[in-house]
Structure formats: C-alpha cells, structure tokens
Amino acid sequence: MDVTQLILDDHAEQRRLFAIIEQIEANDHEALRAVWSRLRGLLDTHARAEEVFFYPELLKLGRGADGETPKGETKDAIKDHNEIRDTASRVDDEDVGSAKWFDAVAAANKANSDHIAEEERQGLTDFRRHTDTQLRHRLAVRFIGFELKHLTGVKPVDLDVDAYVAEKS
C-alpha cells in the first residue's frame, strides 16, 4: 500500500462524484443531496488527512518537482485546500438543485480540479521520487485509517498557510 496511490484513488473518486452530480436532474434533490454529502465529506476528510500525514513528510523529505520546492508545493496545497473548503461551503448555502447551487458546485469542482492536477504533477511526483516504499506504506496505513474513522467528514477549518509550513518544517 502506498499513500500516493491512496491519494490518487481519492482524486479519482472526487472526479467521479462531481461527474455524477452533473448527470442528475436538478429536481432530484434527494440524489443531489446524497451525492454532494458524500463528496463534501470526502473533500474535507481527504484534505485534512493530507495535512496531517502527507504534507509534513513532504516538507521533510521532498526535493521539489515541476519547478517547485517542497515548501512551495505545500503552501500551494494548503491554500488550495482552503479554497476548496470555502467553495464547498458556498454549495451548502444554496438551495439544492437551483442554478446557484450548480454554479457553486462548478466552482468547487474547478478549485478541486486545479488543486489535484497540480498536486499530482508536483507533490505526489516529488514524494514518489524521494521517499522509500516503507515510509509510503506506513503513511498509507495511517492515512486510510484516518479517512475511514472520519467517513462522514471532518469539520472544515481553513489553515494559515505560512503558520502551517513554519510549524511542519
């Protein structure tokens, strides 16, 4: 088991759930609410698991990828996590199935898609290149345990990007 693969698997599930929402009729509030609830929980829990397990190790062991340093990769990721949390909270402020609700979902999808593309190109590449399989396995066990313990989500809390990197470096 490899933490980078677990992260990629979560990304695939996030993409899948956003795509499902796009295919549900606006008047099917029950289905939209159910899929959004699962997606929101996954987004929040996934981000928090990365912040607790993945990014502190990247700061210690990474060398940089795609022209970024580990600090740069981490700062971008935490900023992105905050944006994803903020756009996701806007979805919850709208009436399910309304045009504004779908617009808010689209904004959350864009924030998330931009983040995961960058993370896959930078942080995950950096981590695979500069860490051993034993560490990736140990982190995977902790990561999946955290996600399963918080299957319905965690409280979304924006983080101070500079304070996070200073504390974890």
User: Which structure tokens are listed for 134?
Assistant: 């034993």
Chain CA centroid to CA 78, Å: 10
Q: What is the pLDDT of residue 150?
A: 92
Q: Is 23 exposed, middle or buried (0-12, 13-18, 19+ CB in 10 A)?
A: exposed
Q: What is the DSSP string of the chain?
A: --HHHHHHHHHHHHHHHHHHHHTS-TT-HHHHHHHHHHHHHHHHHHHHHIIIIIHHHHHHH---BTTB-HHHHHHHHHHHHHHHHHHHHHHHTS-TTSHHHHHHHHHHHHHHHHHHHHHHHTHHHHHHHHS-HHHHHHHHHHHHHHHHHTTT--------HHHHHHHH-
Burial class (CB in 10 A: 0-12, 13-18, 19+), 43: buried
- The string of pLDDT tens digits covering residues 90-146 is 999 999 999 999 999 999 999 999 999 999 999 999 999 999 999 999 999 999 999
If one counts the domains in the chain, the total is: 1
Q: How far apart are CA 74 and CA 41, in angstroms?
A: 22
pLDDT band at residue 64 using 50, 70 and 90 as cut-offs: confident
Structural domain span for residue 158:
3-168
pTM value is 0.91
Model pLDDT for residues 22-43, shown as the tens digit of each residue: 999 999 999 999 999 999 999 9
> Nearest Cα to 131, choosing from 59, 79, 75?
59
Cα(1)–Cα(77) distance, integer angstroms: 23
